[in-house]
Amino acid sequence: MSQDAETILILTGAGISAESGLSTFRDKGGLWRRYETADVATPEGFARDPDLVHEFYNLRRRKLATVSPNAAHKALARLQRDYPGRVVIVTQNVDDLHERAGGRDIIHMHGEILKMRCTACGESRRRVDDLGPALPCPDCGQQGTLRPDVVWFGETPCHLPRIQTALGACGLFLSIGTSGNVYPAAGFVAAAHARGVPTVELNLEPSEQNGHFGEARYGPATSVVPAWVDRFLEQFGKDRR
């Protein structure tokens, strides 16, 4: 690895998976316009009506099985393959499209929909099929304790120490397909910017955090992400010669 291949940290959000056919959260037609967040994305909602919450995530899990990674996920996997430095993807998405595109070094800060976690014993396991309140935990045998292993409102995101370390070490920060509304992820660009790190936004439209980005490209992820990766790798290759 060359001395000048600095770590790149990429934050992704629902917008990168939109063209694969997965709903975003706040856009027109987004998931949270159709469901109440308090009902399906809080621990209190789950305690109140576990059937509804399981149904919501079962639908999303089934939908995920029908979609594929798009050109933006694939471009990031290519960047990870062809760039000689480290490229860390911190995703707010609970889907597995970065992995299925061939990506690696992926941190799921809001959990993973293809995992279930037992609230009694704490074990987390892969789960592709539907979940329901009647299913006993395969580890401790208790019933009614399994939940999707995702981060709900009011809960702490996963892997924050690893993310902070990567954020503190990166020499380039990229944000793709996120509205910049949900913290702590929304605050990452300001932290990178404050350290003097170059910051790039690739999104359909300016996000809430657009004032912190030194460079921005607006358009669908399947166009702007591959184009940015091509240009970046080409420029990087030239600069090293």
Q: How far is the CB of 129 from ligand NAD (least distance, A)?
A: 20
Q: How far is the CB of 51 from ligand NAD (least distance, A)?
A: 17
83 versus 228: smaller Cβ distance to ligand NAD: 228
List the one residue out of 129, 87, 130 whose CA is nearest residue 225: 87
46 versus 83: smaller Cβ distance to ligand NAD: 46
Q: How far is the CB of 54 from ligand NAD (least distance, A)?
A: 14
Non-local (6+) Cβ contacts of 158 within 8 A are 107, 108, 109, 110, 111, 151
Asked whether the beta carbons of 10 and 90 are under 8 A apart, the reply is yes
Task: Tell me: does residue 131 bind ligand NAD (CB under 6 A).
Answer: no
List the one residue out of 114, 65, 112, 116 whose CA is nearest residue 91: 112
Task: Tell me: does residue 167 bind ligand NAD (CB under 6 A).
Answer: no
* CA distance to 46, 127, 135, per residue, from 144 (Å): 11, 16, 7
Span from 7-15, 48-56, 74-82, 165-173 in contact with ligand NAD (CB under 6 A): 7-15
58 versus 171: smaller Cβ distance to ligand NAD: 58
Phi, psi dihedrals of residue 14, rounded to the nearest 5°: -55, -30
- Residue numbers of the site for ligand NAD (CB under 6 A)? 13-15, 18-19, 24-27, 30, 32, 37, 41, 92-93, 110, 151-153, 177-179, 181-182, 203-205, 207, 220-221
